[in-house]
Copies of this chain bind each other. A is one copy, B any other.
Amino acid sequence: MVDVAARAGVSVKTVSRVVNNAPYVQPELAQRVLAAVAELGFRRNHLASSLRSGQATATIGLLIEEIANPFYATIAGAVAEVASDHDTMLLIASSEEDPAREQQLLRDLCARRVDGLLVVPAGEDHSFLQSEVDLGTPAVFLDRPAGELRADTVLLDNRGGARAGVRTLVEAGHRRVGILLDSTSVYTMRERLAGAREALAAAGAAIDDRLVRDGIRDPGTAARVVGELLDQPDPPTAFFSLNNRISLGAVEELHRRGSTAALLGFDDFDLARLLPYPFTVVAYDTRALARAAAELLFRRIAGDPSEPRSLLIPTDLVERGLPGR
């Protein structure tokens, strides 16, 4: 900038004004400066700029589990759009479900002085963020609630969606429902399970805990567990799979066996229509979830001082066939 100023025969401050499109610069001087900028290939150092001006790195941090996962990729895409509307760049970090790593990454994002944080939390305690939030780095949590920290939160209606879905199973006459999930250590799984329990309880159906199977991490395991449940005496007449990885394995096994069990899944699929076994899903709008969170964050960045808010994104039951009992 000093070089540009020298070349244009003006002060650095004038260069700064021109580069930032500030008013009150004579067109003639501005021309000279622009010419010098072009000749010298000058590019403003954004780091120095935001160091001096205090805030506004025009960057937000997004912390997710894993960017390659389509759910998080969809979130990242929607967030990127909102960020782009605010001329803001996106720093993306993947926690890989490791709370220690999550904490380190969040600290690092703060050290880079992002304007705000969008977090799909992995850990249970985010109190370490309190000082950052107090110091003016707003944080919005999405998909899962923050632990030990009062902050804005945007969640799916996991419980309500599961309840509505399982209610249709009950209404179709099913009482023995096999429930397949990965881990109760994940908030969304607990909520979905609770919703299922509520719907069954409302029908006066005692829940058979032997039909609830967790630890299912991949389609192969899901297929095996479905087989085991079907092979036991008094097998389930319906299944509720709590995410789409599990649904996939269930579809395969039910199709393979020519079963007539009903299948309900949480999470929609792009290709559900083409799969060889009909099933109904509890769908939701991932982009709406992410957009709501991002827009809330930018409102906070703009200075909205109101109390922390909790938003709930509704789910939608998409019926694609559900055999009765």
Contacts and interface: CB of A to CB of B under 8 A. Distances in A.
A163 interface: no
Nearest to A101: B84
A219 B115 CA distance: 40
Contact of A51 (B45, B74, B77): B45
Interface stretch (A28-36, A225-233, A271-279, A309-317): A271-279
Interface in A96-119: 107-113
A68 B74 contact: yes
Nearest to A75: B68
Contacts of A76: 67-68, 73, 76, 92
A252 interface: yes
A89 B78 contact: no
Nearest to A79: B67
Given A92-B92, A274-B252, A47 B51 contact: yes
A303 B89 CA distance: 27
A251 B67 CA distance: 29
B110 A43 contact: yes
A213 B80 CA distance: 33
Given A89-B91, A89-B93, A271-B271, A107 B51 contact: no
Nearest to A135: B41
A53 to B, nearest CB: 11
Nearest to A40: B131
Interface string A119-134: 0000000000001100
Contacts of A73: 67-70, 72-73, 76
A46 B274 contact: no
Interface of A: 41, 43-48, 50-51, 57, 59, 66-70, 72-74, 76-78, 80, 84, 89-94, 107-113, 131-132, 135, 248, 251-252, 271, 274-276
23 contacts: A41-B135, A43-B107, A43-B110, A43-B111, A44-B111, A45-B51, A46-B112, A59-B91, A67-B67, A67-B77, A69-B77, A73-B73, A80-B92, A80-B94, A84-B94, A89-B109, A91-B91, A92-B92, A251-B274, A252-B274, A271-B271, A271-B274, A274-B275
Given A73-B76, A89-B109, A90-B91, 20 more contacts: A46-B112, A46-B113, A48-B51, A67-B73, A67-B76, A67-B77, A76-B92, A80-B92, A80-B93, A89-B91, A89-B108, A89-B112, A90-B93, A92-B92, A248-B274, A251-B274, A271-B274, A271-B275, A274-B274, A276-B276
